[in-house]
Amino acid sequence: MQQIFRVIFYMHEQHVVHRDLKPENFILVNKDPIEKCVLKIIDFGLSAYLKPGQVLTTKSGTAYYVAPEVLAGKYDQLSDMWSLGVIMFVLLCGYPPFFGDNDAAVLSKVRLGNFSFNAADWKGVSGDATHLIQMLLKVNPEHRYTAEQALNDVWVKEKAPKATGAKLHDNFVSNLRGFRGNNKLKKAALQVLARQLNQDELKGLRDVFTSLDGNGDGKLTVAEMKEGIAKSGLKEIPRDLQAIMEDIDSDGSGEIDYTEFLAATLDKQVYLKEDVCWQAFRVFDRNGDGKISKEELAEVLGDGHVSDTCGAGATQAVAEMMKELDGNGDGMVDFDEFMEMMKKQ
């Protein structure tokens, strides 16, 4: 956006209005990272020279990106700034602020100029960014940012100062390592818990997972984990990272998927809440009698959602698991015994 604002600022200083700004009309000079690459603006077929004080009347542009005053047939260079607001909106959330089933429906929404930032899609975007978009998408051009104002906006000039990269917490690696030592039932329980927790409880880990997932494929490789740990500022990459990864990789895919990651990195402060553990306990307590029997344990550990976590031959190990967990020797695991297992490192 900084490069885009800069080129439009230059054009407007030369009294040139583009009149058809959209993502397709910016090309990358090469495939280098954006910090090292230069954008070029193309397609001047609808462009026009505009003398100071002159008003343009020809309706032109592309439905999603056209400014409302263009539709009214009375506009100047600030119509380009509206288009840049739409472009920035699209770049940050993936869809335009004004959309519909056809051009007529889109244009009717453009005329009104009403748009919103859907919380689910914009929760990772700073307030500075949304403020800049609001200043660009002003229906009244007199209140809209010029290219120079946009270029000097805090979000651009200071390179998004309030944007934050997800940080790895200090006990991230110890949580991973601790997961290796858990028995099969606890690993399965943690996967169940990962599916039960709400989005607020998982937000931090989701942000960390996203920041580690370098190629955005929804899975983590050892290389991505190493790179993420190195970037996070944690003192050292654990020597046993490969072994940790293999143990977390419950389905043997060679990569860690999102649920596996959550199960391995959940902090005790989250999963040791009794109400949270009770939700997991109820998944294992199939008949609802308040206790987990050998049969119920074997059934859950053989379930598709958690069987991979327990590894091959998990059902054969049920007897040994019950013996380890059944503190009072009644042949069942009650909630107190379940909680005791969850508290153990």
Tell me the domain boundaries of the chain: 2-157, 172-343
The pLDDT score that the predictor gives to residue 256 is 81
Q: Each residue of 18-35: b (16+ CB within 10 Å) or e?
A: bbbbbeebbeeeeeeeee
pLDDT, tens digit, 9 for 90 and up, residues 119-152: 888 988 999 999 999 999 999 999 999 998 998 8
C-alpha to C-alpha distance for 205 and 191, rounded to whole angstroms: 14
**Of 20, 249, 285, 308, which residue is the catalytic one?**
20
Q: Which of 327, 57, 338 is nearest to 192 (CA)?
A: 338
Confidence of residue 24 (pLDDT cuts 50, 70, 90): very high
**Structural tokens at position 70:** 């263009």
Query: Is 308 a residue whose pLDDT tops 80?
Result: no
Mean pLDDT of 272-297: 86
- Name the pTM for this structure: 0.49
Fold match between domain 2-157 and domain 172-343:
no
| 51 pLDDT higher than 70 | yes
What confidence tens digit (pLDDT) does each residue in 206-263 have? 777 777 876 555 678 878 877 777 776 666 666 777 777 777 766 667 778 777 787 7
Query: In this structure, what are the phi and psi dihedrals at residue 179, rounded to the nearest 5 degrees?
Result: -60, -35
pLDDT reading at 312 higher than 50: no
- % of the chain surpassing 70 pLDDT: 80
Q: What is the mean pLDDT of the chain?
A: 81
Residues 133, 150: Cα–Cα separation, whole Å: 9
pLDDT digits (tens, 9 = 90+) for 180-199: 666 667 777 887 777 777 65
172-343 CATH, one of 1.10.1240.10, 3.40.50.410, 3.40.50.300, 1.10.238.10: 1.10.238.10
* Residue 213 bears catalytic tag: no
CA atoms within 13 A on the CB side of 157: 9
Classify domain 2-157 by CATH number.
1.10.510.10
Would you call 28 helix, strand, or coil by DSSP?
Answer: strand
Is residue 57 predicted with pLDDT exceeding 60?
A: yes
Q: pLDDT at residue 282 above 80?
A: yes
- Predicted confidence at residue 309, as pLDDT, reads 47
Kindly indicate the confidence band of residue 266, based on its pLDDT and cuts at 50, 70 and 90: confident
Residue type, 39: L
pLDDT of residue 171: 64
When pLDDT is averaged across residues 66-76 and rounded to a whole number, the result is 96
Contacts of 331 (CB under 8 A, 6+ apart): 293, 294, 322
Least confident segment among 111-125, 155-169, 283-297: 155-169
- pLDDT higher than threshold 80 for residue 70: yes
What sign has the CA pseudo-torsion 250, 256, 258, 262? positive
Report the pLDDT value the prediction gives residue 307, as an integer from 0 to 100: 47
Nearest CA among 87, 164, 70, 94 for reference residue 133: 87
pLDDT value for 33: 80
Token pair for residue 213? Answer: 């997932």
**Ranges of H-type helices in the chain:** 2-13, 68-72, 78-93, 103-112, 119-122, 127-136, 147-151, 154-157, 172-180, 184-196, 199-212, 222-232, 241-248, 258-265, 268-271, 274-284, 294-301, 307-310, 318-325, 335-343
